[in-house]
Amino acid sequence: MSPERLRDLLERVRRGELGIDGALEALRALPFADVGGVARVDHHRALRAGFPEVIFCQGKLPADVGRIAAEIAAAGADVLATRAAPEHYEAVRAVLPDALYHERARAIVRRREGGPREGVGLVLVVCAGTSDLPVAEEARVTAETMGSRVELLCDVGVAGLHRLLASVEALGRARAIVVVAGMEGALASVVGGLTARPVIACPTSVGYGASFGGLAALLAMLNSCAPGVAVVNIDNGFGAGAMAHRINVAGEPAAAPAPPPAA
């Protein structure tokens, strides 16, 4: 249940349009709802954390993903599913025909009408190489679905640093920056040294043998000498996008409650 939907429910009770018993029935599934014994959908997540529970599809049967998505949507919430294969999308589309599949990001998105407003600032996703794009796209789709305005700056790795420097003004326009890089992961330190904006570094598993599946990039980012660089797990574009969105909207005033009725 979204804060907007809960506020509307309480307003209806206050105006006498809905009785106490009706409100209790509507709130019965607020903490969580059991989905076929395979999941307990956390309907309280949006109230606590600002965004509904996100479905991690890897390892889940397509039918289960479809049922979980339908439960989230029935509560009036946006649906975001990550690490989704085409068969997961087909199962979701069978119950939510307007759901969209972002193939490169491997993400399924279904936005409700009147979904979250865009954050006043900009999230910039900086991607080292084209091979890193799946993770960068996951970060972009995540931040956009949560309500941020996002721009993507692609193929600006340190092997051709002039490509990044040609777009350095974009760093200053962003409120939060996600840097996605594999191989040696040096791009996060470079970006951190060029801007005062917070940088969320996301290592990828892209690279030859000595990159150890992204461990080399992870350690390089953790050892960055540039201040203001924080690091998420290998290939965790979702976590990077979610953190960037939270930074982007931090300090924004909450939606004003409806004014009381005239005496």
Is pLDDT larger for residue 209 or for residue 32?
209
Q: Which fold has domain 122-249?
A: Rossmann fold (3.40.50)
Nearest CA-CA partner of 35 in 80, 82, 69: 69
pLDDT value of position 117: 59
142-201 tens-digit pLDDT:
999 999 999 999 999 998 999 999 989 999 999 999 999 999 999 999 999 999 999 999
Q: How many CA atoms lie within 13 A of 86 on its CB side?
A: 1
3-state secondary structure the chain: CCHHHHHHHHHHHHCCCCCHHHHHHHHCCCCCEEECCCEEECCCHHHHHCCCCCEECCCCCHHHHHHHHHHHHHCCCCEEEECCCHHHHHHHHHHCCCCEEECCCCEEEECCCCCCCCCCCEEEEEECCHHHHHHHHHHHHHHHHHCCEEEEECCCCHHHHHHHHCCHHHHHHCCEEEEEECCCCCHHHHHHCCCCCCEEEEECCCCCHHHHHHHHHHHHHHCCCCCCEEECCCCCHHHHHHHHHHHHHCCCCCCCCCCCCCC
Task: Tell me the pLDDT of the chain averaged across its residues.
Answer: 86
- For the chain, give the percent of residues with pLDDT over 70: 85
9-61 tens-digit pLDDT:
778 777 887 777 776 666 655 676 767 788 877 777 777 777 888 999 999 99
Average of pLDDT values for 89-118? 88
- For the chain, give the percent of residues with pLDDT over 90: 64
pLDDT value of position 262: 45
Cβ neighbours of residue 80 under 8 Å, at least 6 residues apart?
Answer: 51, 52, 54, 55, 107, 108, 109, 141, 142, 145, 146
- Which band of pLDDT confidence, cut at 50, 70 and 90, is reported for residue 202? very high
Q: What are the sequence ranges of the domains in the chain?
A: 3-110, 122-249
Is pLDDT larger for residue 232 or for residue 3?
232
- pTM of the predicted structure, to 2 decimals: 0.82
pLDDT value of position 23: 66
pLDDT value of position 256: 43
174, two tokens: 């962003």
pLDDT value of position 259: 44
